[in-house]
Amino acid sequence: MNYYAGIGSREAPKEILELMSKIGRTLQDKGFILRSGGARGSDRAFTKYVEDDNCEIYRPEDSDKQSMQVASRLHLNWDNLTDVAKKLHSRNAKIILGDKLDCPVDFVICWTKSSKTGGSGTGNAIKIAREYRIPRIFNLNREQDRIYLKSYLNID
């Protein structure tokens, strides 16, 4: 199976959300399984045209001891987070690494306010992806990443 993470800010612009939906549909047609968090904004945009059998949605209640350990290692302010926030961050470990943390995604597609690291949740997911050597992280806030994906996936 081929997996990718579709994540990002809840505040992504409308045109980016539309692009995410097209990317989700196109990657499903190419046999990829989406992993995401189900939050409004970017997460839901990726799932808009993806059938339930072709996506894995990880919610805070899916967090466990192992995913908490991964997330806590990389979050700069872990001890000051609420329990709910810790679960939100630790579900990112499952999005990137799979339910048992033993099946990493092939790549990450995201949108962040900053074209570099992203906000707290997406930023932590990006840190996890880098820590586990996910080869490509495409940030749709970077024009070159948008151009590449649209061309590679033949999306107008």
Count of structural domains within the chain: 1
Q: Which residues, in sequence order, are bridge partners of residue 5?
A: 35, 108
Residue-wise pLDDT tens digits, 89-101: 999 999 999 999 9
Q: Across the chain, how many H-helices and E-strands are there?
A: 6, 5
pLDDT at 76 over 90: no
Query: Which tokens is 37 given?
Result: 């968090």
CATH number for the domain harbouring residue 123: 3.40.50.450
pLDDT number for residue 56:
98
pLDDT number for residue 120:
75
Range of the domain at 69: 2-152
DSSP letter for 155, please. -
pLDDT at 50 over 80: yes
